Structure 1
Amino acid sequence: MAELLYRLGRLASRRSWTVIAGWIVTLALAAGAFLAFGGTLTTTMSIPGTETERVTEQLTDELDGLGGATGTVVFRTEDGSAFTSSQEEQIGELLDGIAEIDRVDDVVNPFAAASERAEQEQQLADGAAQLDEAEQQVADGTAQLDAAEAQLDAGQAQLDGAVAQARADGTYAFAEAQFAAQQAELDANRAQLDAQRAELEAGAAELPDQRSRLEDGQRLVDAASEIRTVSADGATAAGAVLFEDELFSLPAETKAAVADELDGADIDGVAIDYSSEIASSIDGLVGPGEIAGVALALLVLILMFRALLPAVMPIVSSIIGVGIGVAGSLAFSGVVDMTSVTPVLGVMLGLAVGIDYALFIMNRHRRQVLAGMEIRESIALANGTSGNAVVFAGSTVLVALLALNVTGIPFLGVMGTVGAVCVLIAVLLAVSFTPAVLGLIGIRIVNRRARAQIGHESHARPELKPMGTGRALLRAALAIIVLLVVAIPALSMRLGLPDGSSEATDSTQYQAYTAVADAFGAGQNGPLLVTAALPDGLAEDEVTATQANLADLLLEQEDVVAVAPVGVSDDRDFLAFQVVPVDGPSSASTEQLVHDLRDLSPVPGEAAGADGDVDLGVAGQASGNIDISEKLAGVLPVYLALVVGLSLIILVLVFRSILVPLVATAGFVLSLFAAFGAIVAIFQWGWLGTVFGVHDPGPVLNFAPILIMGVLFGLAMDYQLFLVSGMREAYVHGVPARTAVVAGLRNGRVVVTAAAIIMTAVFGGFVFSHLAMVRPLGFGLAIGVLFDAFIVRMLLIPAVMHLLGRSAWWLPNWLDRILPNVDVEGAALERSHPVHGASAAAVGGGSGDAAGDEITREDAARAPIRS
């Protein structure tokens, strides 16, 4: 590989314009592909096989229209007064216009919904009054019938008395016809009375059923009483836009069309905001913070090279790489589901590693030129040695990112793949574009003052002395204690997805979220959808009672504010309810509520008023976020084990040691958990919230830990390689083990420090991104790089290596025989292309003169301390 890169570097330096033009054409093709084929980005995440996914599919199958995305539109009067009739009319017209947009299924006019609800409540009140009146009429009629019956009984008694008297005095025969007529009249009246009583009793028999249905309807209205579309003061109204597509497949054109309609609305005295389901998903891709981060990286490069032209080169190279990688990846967004964070991750990684990888090669070339090497030979050698290390370092990052695909989480695998593509392009640019530009600038790689020193002996360095053992113990203890203390908050990490409260305060998403929370309660920003699957269909007159029974059951659960029925299947064997929790979708109470609702299933048939047990399901954005977070939390240990195992294998191959990989991997784990602790403290606990723009603390972004783990692994291996390889090189050239630690640290710390500062600057620029999901990623990567580079690699590792001494390089004989020789730094190439006029150590990072050593670097690479 080193020889191939050497030839590539020499060719690129001679055909500079051809190579540069080739990359520019590639950039143009990538941009063209994006413009021609780019599709939709989304702010939501989806994982197949979750409970939410299953319930959502049921909803789509059983209840057409409930499976699509729903966006909230909030209207507020600017002076805080109630809406006027004119404003209500204009809002209705605006929503009616949005309903005509392609892929919009329906809209909810908040004032029409409030009016319909008032009509329903009035109908129930009227029905109750009519029922009360009917019951009173029944009571009055019964009393009248009872009185009439009493009169009949009295008349019958008189007639019976008269008949008895007539029989006694022998006059009955004379009055028999009269008695018969009177009896017939009484019988007729009694028959009429019985008929009236039967009719009255039949009517009265229907009243309990009517009362029951009325009470069931009233129970449903009461259960939904806290769900409102217009606030109590009449100054805030929440409408809705119902889309035909679910959020992941919702076309960007549809969202943009709706947003344009709302942004262009001019309703006097009314402010309009809308939720993230409508808002553009890629605002904030590159903003002032990101530009400031690149500017800081440029400043570091200027200070390092002491010249503007070579300092600008890595920036230009990284920007070209980001353009190709991100635009090329987005060209596939029409056929692959991508989140809005995916291209941002590509930008972050592309900028950071692109600058660093070019820096490593340029720094090597600059040192060789100062040592007196011819320009083109120096470019080729730098590309074959440092370029070879760059390829290896980039490969570790690639492997870590591509390993995200083994988690089985599609959106995370896509993010890892896009990030890997951007890193791959950064590596290819570093070993081709960088040599080409170096060939163009020639001797200007060094400033004018430095040119006068080319070929002269290097300034004498202080004599190497190992650090004291006591100092090493203190450094190691201090580093471990600091990292462990910072990692403490990670013990309480709670994963989730940010809701509207996490967005920038000047964004329409945040304004809409807070307006709904203030006017209607935070829970209405993330209602749950609860489904009830019945074993058999209900009779038409049984639906309301079953809905009311289930609504009461749901309302009994802790942290439930309101429940409203939203759909019944055609077969009446599938019901759906909207459940409004107390708190927002990312709150701990809502997470617990989802679990509690699922634990209710199955509901006994008698409790629901159905034949057979009822299976409950929970869906909705909050439920989906909870499922995704739990799935990611479950995958996290598996991925950590994979990364740690990979780390050990790679480091054993590179350093041919057992203890060095163990120490390096333990250091990576320490810096990783310290980064997690810092993220929790800032974004979940709200510490230093004003500094980092965390105005509403919430759960940690659910995919941030696993993504940060993968990226930091690759970067940690980079820093380990550039520092510890110098230690090993010095040691195998005869320098005592503990002195070799100081030699390797002295030779590698400058470039690692610059690289780490650049990485931190680039990642840190995204801490102030306009996208809520980007900020914790930027912060976690920035603080993780700081911890790993400055505390672990330059403080902890040298101290532990000193304490281990010669045993750090121990390797069993049997393992030494089977391990391949991994010449990461291109030692063989250096021997065949020596640096004239200076020692190899002076330019290559070693501590001794390779030309004068009896042991060659290749032999040394295969010379571990044997047991």
Structure 2
Amino acid sequence: MATFLYRLGRLAFRWRWRFALLWAVVLAAVGAVAVMAPAAPDDSSAMSGIEAQQAYDLIQQRFPGSAADGASARIVFVAPHGQKVTAGANKKAITDFVREATGSSPQVSSAVSPFAADTVSNDGSTAYATVSYKVTSSDLTDASKTSLEHAIGDARDAGLTVEAGGDVLAAQTEAGGSSEVIGIVLAAVVLLITFGSLAAAGLPLLTAVLGVGVSMTAVTALGSALGLSSTTGTLASMLGLACGIDYAMFIVSRYREERGKGHAPQQAAALAVGTAGSAVVFAGMTVVIALAGLSVVGIPMLTKMGLAAAGAIVISVLIALTLVPALLGFWPNAVLSRRIRKGRRAVEGGTGNGGSRWARFVLRRPVPVLLVSVAALGAIAIPAKDLQLGMPGAESQSTSTTERRAYDDLAAGFGPGFNGPLTIVVDARGAQHPKSAVSAITKEIKDTDGIVSVAPARFNDAGDTAMFSATPSTSPTDEQTKNLVKTIRAERPAAEKSTGATFKVTGTTAMNIDVAQKVQDALIPYLAVVIGLAVLLLMIVFRSVLVPLKAAAGFLLSVLASLGAVVAVFQWGWFAGLLGVQQTGPIMSLMPIFLVGIVFGLAMDYEVFLVSRMREAHVHGEQPRQAVESGFRHSARVVVAAALIMVAVFSGFVGAGESMIKTIGFGLAIAVAFDAFVVRMAFVPAVLALLGRYAWWLPKWLGRILPKVDIEGEGLARQTAIVLPSSDAPGGGRTDTESVRV
């Protein structure tokens, strides 16, 4: 591996114009295809294998046209304090609104008055009208939205409090672009501090942005053919940017180190790609394994997001291995520190930098450091035991939005469960008397504890299927609502036996509950697959049994701690105000899977980059404890910088207005911080210090089975004979002779 990458780096440096032109052509070609490609499809909400989806499919089959995808707005009216919406002036204002909304736009299909639909609260303080549209919310014209806003304004002028729920006037959050800009700015600051050179800081940013450009245009180009939605590339953009910067930074850092030893530019670039590039390849492979493993969950949207992000990582690796050495060929001295440009041939960091001093501290006190790191992460992980999964809705939005205020007004007027009714679909094809069977099932569900009301059943044209809504007494995100759904479903066998008909429960609330359960059930298999494959990969990389197991244990510590922090903030409400969290509640269902997959890949990144230098020193003759110190001396600074960049990129998403993006950004940022600064900087060296030479133990039989991959450059040391430059070659810019046999 090292020899092949050495040749690739040398070739890219020598043929820099060709490689630079190649990537420019790739970007232009993919961009051209993206421009001509059909528009990406809307997000698919299909969740195979869950009851709520099966019930939804049955509705579409038995009630054609009833599950239309047109946009809708639920307009909530609240009378002034002490008045009722049925009072003369208030009723007239609501009736005028319905009339105005009906004729406000040709895209409106209907507007139903609350007095005709009996959607007035028992105390008469609140009512709502439903305005339905012929097109989806994305196809609504500005004129249609403006007309609805004008009708709402007229009703408010009449003295009513009016808010709009639904997807018509929903606030659009554009978190992606601004968050990425914030991440790039913070990453640039970290790179500048780390390298002390504008060129060295700018090169990783340039290549990472190019990689994200290729990845995102590829997602757009393939969107129609592969069914990739417009949001599929969100994860690819986030990870492509962070990993792209990190991978390029590791190679640039190694290039500077090799130049500091006195190697000529081309040789230094080749050695950097052959050694650090090997670590980049295997680090990238662990991220790809983690992301591709998201397909285990069985949620199509998650599978597509994972595969798109995995593709972005592959592109980042390829750019780091080819374009980075090519750009180094254009500016071989610009990325160097001032010391090396002045001709001082010292390895960056010397022999006593902060990394080596910290390593010596841990090596002298491995047991206390290990106990403190495990205890600290274990304490932070405690809230994770109360993790509740769900999907945030309008209740998680800011109270400044009309959607959130409409949600609160409906809950106050009709009860907390009104915002999340359950839809019951009764399949009576097997019943002798379908109507009697539906009536019996309706009565049974109505009598269930936790149900406050049941709407009249509506039959299909064939008369063999009916559906009705049941309103719970608790809110959609309440744990009691989840238990209620389980209770209703548990009554199904008895109902089927007595009536000959069966039923299924669906609706947004039931769908969210089922998705959360499906993700929870898939978490353990996903962990087993991803960790198993990664442990095997790390065994091949490090030729060790205990090092990969130690890496997996450290990863689990950081993930559990980050989940605990997420629960403490977003579910318990600790420091929620500082992060702009408007409403605490269940954690987004997909969050644990995202966290496990992404953080596992990034944690293995740091493991490979840090421990590979220890392995390299050990292979070249250093004792185990000395090798740990060498690894920290060479890699600690750049690993810390890489982690800070990751934290910066992910933290940019914490400022997003959407709760889901905010949660993901916080979870990933805190997880990277825990893994890099506690696990890799404390837990790892402490464990290696205690293991000593056993850390690199590998049974002979297993050593014969595992393929041998050289990422430490051991093969390069045997195959290259390099004469260092004469003293009059400033900064190692030229060599008198250079003999390379590869």
Q: Assess same fold via TM > 0.5.
A: yes
Instruction: Quote the residue 2:39 is aligned against.
Output: 38
Q: CA deviation at 1:706?
A: 1.7
| Equivalent-residue separation in structure 1 for 2:17 and 2:139 (angstroms) | 40
| Alignment of 1:56 onto 2:63 | no
Q: How does 1:306-345 map to 2 (within 5 A)?
A: 306-338=196-228, 342-345=232-235
- One-letter code of the match for 1:307? S
Which of 515, 530, 540 is equivalent to 1:643? 530
Q: CA deviation at 1:457?
A: 7.6
| Equivalent-residue separation in structure 2 for 1:285 and 1:457 (angstroms) | 42
Instruction: Quote the residue 1:426 is aligned against.
Output: 316
Which of 110, 116, 138 is equivalent to 1:107? 110
| Equivalent-residue separation in structure 2 for 1:664 and 1:409 (angstroms) | 28
Which of 242, 246, 256 is equivalent to 1:366? 256
Deviations 1:322-348 (A, max 9, x none): 222123213444355556653221121
Q: CA deviation at 1:567?
A: 1.6
Instruction: Quote the residue 2:390 is aligned against.
Output: 496
| Alignment of 1:408 onto 2:298 | yes
- The SS at the match of 2:477 is coil
- The SS at the match of 1:334 is helix
Q: CA deviation at 1:698?
A: 1.6
Instruction: Quote the residue 1:827 is aligned against.
Output: 714
Deviations 1:806-828 (A, max 9, x none): 22222222222332211124332
| Equivalent-residue separation in structure 1 for 2:587 and 2:117 (angstroms) | 41
The answer to whether the 8 A contact 1:658-1:810 is kept is yes
Q: CA deviation at 1:635?
A: 0.9
The answer to whether the 8 A contact 1:45-1:628 is kept is no
The answer to whether the 8 A contact 2:14-2:329 is kept is yes
Moved more, 6-15 or 317-326: 6-15
| Equivalent-residue separation in structure 2 for 1:326 and 1:264 (angstroms) | 38
Q: What 5-or-longer segments of structure 1 have no aligned partner?
A: 118-226, 245-249, 839-857, 859-867
Deviations 1:622-668 (A, max 9, x none): 11111111111111101111122123211211111222222121111
Q: CA deviation at 1:798?
A: 0.6
Instruction: Quote the residue 1:672 is aligned against.
Output: 559
- One-letter code of the match for 2:139? E
Larger Rg: 1
Instruction: Quote the residue 2:100 is aligned against.
Output: 93
| Alignment of 1:445 onto 2:335 | yes
The answer to whether the 8 A contact 1:350-1:426 is kept is yes
| Equivalent-residue separation in structure 1 for 2:269 and 2:115 (angstroms) | 74
Q: CA deviation at 1:419?
A: 0.9
The answer to whether the 8 A contact 1:273-1:509 is kept is yes
| Alignment of 1:398 onto 2:288 | yes
Deviations 1:691-740 (A, max 9, x none): 22222112121122122212222212221112222222333333332232
| Equivalent-residue separation in structure 2 for 1:10 and 1:415 (angstroms) | 35
- The SS at the match of 1:446 is coil
* 1:569–1:32 Cα change, 3 Å: same
- One-letter code of the match for 1:594? V
- One-letter code of the match for 2:425? T
RMSD: 3.3
* 1:412–1:535 Cα change, 3 Å: same
Please, what TM-score do these two structures have when normalized by structure 2? 0.87
| Alignment of 1:730 onto 2:617 | yes
* 1:34–1:722 Cα change, 3 Å: same
| Alignment of 1:239 onto 2:130 | yes
Instruction: Quote the residue 1:567 is aligned against.
Output: 458
- The SS at the match of 2:659 is coil
| Equivalent-residue separation in structure 2 for 1:275 and 1:79 (angstroms) | 17
Q: CA deviation at 1:421?
A: 1.1
The answer to whether the 8 A contact 1:603-1:616 is kept is no
| Equivalent-residue separation in structure 1 for 2:76 and 2:723 (angstroms) | 76
Deviations 1:465-491 (A, max 9, x none): 955777110000011111111111111
- One-letter code of the match for 1:553? E
- One-letter code of the match for 2:619? V
- The SS at the match of 2:232 is helix
Q: How does 1:578-727 map to 2 (within 5 A)?
A: 578-602=469-493, 604=495, 612-727=499-614
The answer to whether the 8 A contact 2:137-2:167 is kept is no
Give the number of equivalent residue pairs.
710
| Alignment of 1:764 onto 2:651 | yes
The answer to whether the 8 A contact 2:295-2:303 is kept is yes
- The SS at the match of 1:565 is coil
Moved more, 574-583 or 825-834: 825-834
| Equivalent-residue separation in structure 1 for 2:269 and 2:525 (angstroms) | 42
The answer to whether the 8 A contact 2:260-2:348 is kept is no
Q: CA deviation at 1:429?
A: 1.7
Instruction: Quote the residue 2:733 is aligned against.
Output: none
| Equivalent-residue separation in structure 1 for 2:299 and 2:432 (angstroms) | 39
Instruction: Quote the residue 1:805 is aligned against.
Output: 692
The answer to whether the 8 A contact 1:344-1:774 is kept is no
| Equivalent-residue separation in structure 2 for 1:92 and 1:9 (angstroms) | 71
Instruction: Quote the residue 2:185 is aligned against.
Output: 295
| Alignment of 1:480 onto 2:374 | yes
The answer to whether the 8 A contact 1:74-1:274 is kept is yes
Deviations 1:570-626 (A, max 9, x none): 23332211112233333212211211111121455898xxxx333221111111111
- One-letter code of the match for 2:297? T
| Equivalent-residue separation in structure 2 for 1:827 and 1:525 (angstroms) | 64
Q: How does 1:220-235 map to 2 (within 5 A)?
A: 228=120, 232-233=124-125
- The SS at the match of 1:651 is helix
Deviations 1:123-161 (A, max 9, x none): xxxxxxxxxxxxxxxxxxxxxxxxxxxxxxxxxxxxxxx
- One-letter code of the match for 1:636? L
| Alignment of 1:253 onto 2:253 | no
- The SS at the match of 1:576 is strand
The answer to whether the 8 A contact 1:63-1:567 is kept is no
* 1:524–1:691 Cα change, 3 Å: same
- One-letter code of the match for 1:498? P
Q: CA deviation at 1:427?
A: 1.2
The answer to whether the 8 A contact 2:567-2:587 is kept is yes
Q: What 5-or-longer segments of structure 2 have no aligned partner?
A: 726-741
| Equivalent-residue separation in structure 2 for 1:265 and 1:767 (angstroms) | 35
* 1:107–1:334 Cα change, 3 Å: farther
- One-letter code of the match for 1:524? F
| Equivalent-residue separation in structure 2 for 1:274 and 1:33 (angstroms) | 40
Please, what TM-score do these two structures have when normalized by structure 1? 0.75
| Equivalent-residue separation in structure 1 for 2:209 and 2:678 (angstroms) | 30
* 1:525–1:460 Cα change, 3 Å: closer
| Equivalent-residue separation in structure 2 for 1:824 and 1:500 (angstroms) | 51
Instruction: Quote the residue 2:237 is aligned against.
Output: 347
The answer to whether the 8 A contact 2:74-2:166 is kept is no
| Alignment of 1:5 onto 2:12 | no
Q: CA deviation at 1:18?
A: 4.6
Which of 639, 645, 663 is equivalent to 1:752? 639
Q: CA deviation at 1:803?
A: 1.0
- The SS at the match of 1:89 is helix
Moved more, 63-72 or 360-369: 63-72
Instruction: Quote the residue 2:426 is aligned against.
Output: 532
- The SS at the match of 2:332 is helix
- The SS at the match of 2:182 is helix
* 1:535–1:584 Cα change, 3 Å: same
